[in-house]
Amino acid sequence: MLIGWIVLILAILVILALIGLGWDTFFTGVKKGVEKIGNLPEIKNITNKAKNEFDSIVGNSTADIVTILFQKI
């Protein structure tokens, strides 16, 4: 129940910010904030580790699928 109230309050705050600042200004500010957060070294490290793990998982899965397909031929 508490989470529902928190979500409702956050949604109201976002709507009020959109009305007060205007659509373009609001999203420009959000974009700048995301860029600042994305440039933090900690976030870059986490992103690179996640990308490497994802590539490893996808690469292994693709190799396994190819191996299974060629075994059946």
Residues 6+ apart with CB under 8 A from 42: none
What is the model's pTM?
0.45
Residue 15 forms part of a structural domain: no
d(CA 27, CA 38): 16
- Of 49 and 64, the structure prediction assigns the larger pLDDT to 49
In percent, how much of the chain has pLDDT > 90?
14
Host domain of residue 68? 24-73
Number of domains in the chain: 1
Contact 7, 15 (CB under 8 A): no
Residue 19 forms part of a structural domain: no
Asked if pLDDT for residue 8 goes beyond 90, the answer is yes
Asked if pLDDT for residue 29 goes beyond 70, the answer is yes
